[in-house]
Amino acid sequence: MMMTEYFVVLVALILCIIMAIIRIIRGPTAPDRIVGLDTVNTIVIVSMVIFGAAFNEVIYIDVAIVYALLSYISTLFIAKYLEGGEF
């Protein structure tokens, strides 16, 4: 019923992911690349939830929850590495 609208939203989100990937490739410094990576992570979570709602599968939303927590931990570790601190 709502399948076409879901795919329009997914195409717009993929366009946004492509713009963030251009920033990851072109970024002059390392924090620029991390900002792009963080944006890609958030948009991938949103697309997974939209995908799960489109096909009426709850398992995709569970995967999105786990992906959110793990990408947060990876962002914190990369930021800690850039600071030069000790773990």
Partner 1 sequence: MGIGMIVDGIVYLFLAIGVFFNLLAGVGLLRFPDVYTRLHAGTKCTTFGSIFILGTVIILGLKTWYLGDVNGSVLTIHTIVALIAILLTNPTGAHAIARAAHRSNVKPYGAVVDHLEKKPTTKATKQPKEVK
Closest CA to 38 of 26, 20, 50, 18: 20
Smallest distance, partner 1 to C-beta of residue 28, A: 9
Q: How far is CA 42 from CA 49, 61, 85, in A?
A: 11, 13, 26
**Does 15 help bind partner 1 (rule: CB under 8 A)?**
yes
**Does 12 help bind partner 1 (rule: CB under 8 A)?**
yes
Smallest distance, partner 1 to C-beta of residue 19, A: 3
The contact mask relative to partner 1 for 28-57 (x = CB under 8 A, - = no) is -xxxx-xxx-xx--xx-xx--xx-xx--x-
